[in-house]
Amino acid sequence: AQKITQTQPGMFVQEKEAVTLDCTYDTSDQSYGLFWYKQPSSGEMIFLIYQGSYDEQNATEGRYSLNFQKARKSANLVISASQLGDSAMYFCAMREFSGSARQLTFGSGTQLTVLP
């Protein structure tokens, strides 16, 4: 079963508008972390934001915020005031804290295009 699901293969947003990228996850762990990464066309993976399962407040980092709804197992990324440089592939990922492994499991990604 998919642990991380990103249902939007592609999204378009007008410059300066806000956009929400969807992510749902599946885990039986009580302790886990959720991450968002950005991959521009150049290929590198850039960390954007992190949310722990026990964090009561939604995480925010500048123009990025994470809309964490634990009961619905969703961790949507909200980008406010979109910029042309935000055009990239965005990946949601999860780390489960049971066991000793600490790898991230990634979703299939959402390609965001910001229109001028």
Partner 1 sequence: DSGVTQTPKHLITATGQRVTLRCSPRSGDLSVYWYQQSLDQGLQFLIQYYNGEERAKGNILERFSAQQFPDLHSELNLSSLELGDSALYFCASSVGAGAANTGELFFGEGSRLTVL
Which amino acid belongs to residue 50? Answer: Y
25 interacts with partner 1 by CB under 8 A: no
CA of residue 54 relative to chain centroid, distance: 17
If residue 115 lies in a helix (H) or strand (E), which one and from where to where? strand 110-115
Residue 64 binding partner 1, by CB under 8 A = no
Say if residues 75 and 68 touch (Cβ distance below 8 Å).
yes
Q: Please, which of residues 42-61 interact with partner 1 by CB under 8 A?
A: 43-47, 50, 52
Measured from the CB atom, is 28 or 100 closer to partner 1? 100
User: How near is the Cβ of 15 to partner 1 at its closest, in Å?
Assistant: 27
- The answer to whether 36 and 90 have CB atoms below 8 angstroms apart is yes
Among 107, 110, 112, 114, binds partner 1 (CB under 8 A): 107
